[in-house]
Structure 1
Amino acid sequence: MRKNTIDIITLGCSKNLVDSEKLLRQLRANGYKVTHDSEHPTGEIAVINTCGFIGDAKEESINTILEFCEAKEEGRLRHLYVMGCLSERYLKELQVEIPQVDKFYGKFNWTELLQDLGKAYHPELQQERTLTTPGHYAYLKISEGCDRQCAYCAIPIITGHHVSRPIEDIIEEVKWLVSQGVKEFQVIAQELTYYGVDLYKEQKIAELVERMAEVDGVEWIRLHYAYPSHFPDDLFRVMREHKNVCKYMDIALQHISTPVLARMRRHVNKEETYQLIERFRREVPGIHLRTTLMVGFPGETEDDFEELKRFVRDVRFDRMGAFAYSEEEGTYAGEHYEDDVPENVKRQRLDELMAIQEDISAELGATKIGQIFKVIIDRIEGDYFVGRTEYDSPEVDPEVLIALENKELRIGDFYQVKITSADDFDLYGTVVE
């Protein structure tokens, strides 16, 4: 064990990562040496930032906690603390079931950890954080919570009502991050199109993005986790007119069958969904759409699933993820619907849907061969520089691989890259002058 050293382990989504980065900054301001997601934690203190969204994520969080409990019992760890979504949702149960943890915190009271360590919270640093991403990009969380109340989703149970951050606070953080070398911003929220309704009584996401785009040094802005119902019209104009707003939208559609969407309480139907996609492509030429779909929702019939497959083939999403329905206690679906699609059927449908998308992704990737794209370099891996276009978000989307012998490139810089070949997932290219 290294004295005065703390290991932070972050599980789950990028919104959790932002919380960990803020905690990192506070701990370092108090004199601690802090590591993040170390393969071999060696500190005397560990903090696990948990996810509690769906079954697999909860299981991963529990298993990670138990691993560190074992390290504590063997004398390899002095103190263990747990924070985040899982402990926000199951605080009392966890305190009883895993007493080896020194203290559990929820998602919003992690600042109490500093007090429990005998340290001070520095309010003057509230806009600052220690980035765990490469220094040229950062996740920017603009709100917490969600008011949508989709039937399957436990997020409102965990995070509560939608709470927007004031525009001025966000712009201040953007300017600070730019001063630290950040060029690319992944704007994240549980539901970003609702941004501002609670504070300003109207949707303000377009105004926020436009003001971000006007900050010197902001090269790319990418938007994540939009909702299809009542999509703000003025956001189309902002995406179209500002070159540093990436032509990329992450919008979770979940399904296309109107009966399934109604049971999901999504407040949108098949026709409206197709119209929205058509409008995206008309209003923002060249836009790349990422979506998430769900299979096996209670009551999903074979006809519903066939309709979903046709939808994926018709629309040809540039990026797509999918998952099988997991019943969550406390949700509307958990309390009102029978989980009547067998697990093996869910898995079969998921595999079938992703196989369709894999073919589409390969075909769309092949169309980029011969084209030139602006690419940012993230890292060196094996024999390649690895980068991304404006159409690719970190961690989840395809990457651009450039052979090391091609040219000496700097991580965090932009280059014009001609695509020379493509496989099912990634592009390969060479830098052009």
Structure 2
Amino acid sequence: MKTYTILIADDYPENIQIIVDALKSSNIQHRIIRAVNGRILCELAKKRCPDLIITDWEMPEMDGIEAIEILKGNEITKDIPVIMCTGIMTSSDNLKTALDCGAIDFIRKPIDCFELQARVNSILKLADSYHIIKDQNVILEQQKEEIQAQRDELQVHQTGLEILVEERTIDLKLAKENAEESDRLKSAFLANISHEIRTPLNAIVGFSHLLMDKDIDENVRKEFFDTIIQGSNTLIQLIEEIIDISKIETGQLNVEKKACDLEKLIEKLSNKYSGRKLQLNKKNIQLIQLIKPNDSELIILTDPYRLEQILSHLLDNALKFTESGSIQFGYMREDSNLKFFVKDSGIGLTEKQQDYLFIRFTKTAISDEKLYQGVGLGLSICKGLVEKLGGKIWIESECNVGSTFYFTIPCILVDK
């Protein structure tokens, strides 16, 4: 688990200790740096580059507002998220001043420990996703620069080298097409990511602000906390998907093969998605396991975590696009392989939609886009994981009838 560095600035040590104690009771692994005024805050931020800054407004020598303005004007510290923590945030003008100078959020004193934990957790996860996307953009820009360098080199040697020019032109054209496709996918991906991040983030920020009302009923307050947690989990899942697809694309994804009890795995998934369909208010969908009696107690050599991840993606997909009927899943032996399947009675897909189904960063065109949201990574992750386990994946589908996803992995039996 990552250890986050959090810099806290307040001229009263007891106020810093309140924040420290609140973070100790959270599940955030962290280390604390302390500052007693804005000047020291700026010095420590430049030296230590913390993951998050929590600062008071009114402090001697340099207040929180001036400190934030200095941090946002410095190349080293400009991307560090800052939470303003103060007791003078009593008007919209004060709030606007804090946000305009560069603070990403604020917390009123006296501090609510649960509110602080929720805000810190969500902002740290959002910052992680921002750095991942930023790193990906750097890689894409480097690729574009390399292509431009190849083009410049080709132009220098053009005179008297017609054959070489022709060969390089062909290579350049292919590289240009790849770059344009990469740009198109990047733009679509960033647009999708922006939307998918904004949705849970709006819920987190909105309900966090509502929690500041001390007159809220405890049951309502719990619902607000549950919504904030759900939004944070959505962001975490999105980050994990981005990391998985990056590892797959760069060949850095590793599998750890060991004994896997298929009966226990299928039962675990059945219990999980029986609960999930109730959460999604899809009680009228039947979840059915289909396994031949002779195959029900198999123990095989594979990566149990990645196998569960593949089936979870496919079951999530089936539950998302099925409003009524049934979802069937299971496996069967075929020669030296195991063939798994997830079958639904959902909306189905056209042949054209199926052609793009496993391509990363793409989503099939669906009439109700608000109902079926997503970044377009799940099925491409499934394809990469299945291939990493030594198998293949495909789909059979018919519009308005349903879809069946199949994938195979080697059937290497392990003695009980």
Does TM-score exceed 0.5, indicating one fold?
Answer: no
TM-score by length of structure 1 reads 0.25
Give the structure-2-normalised TM-score. Answer: 0.26
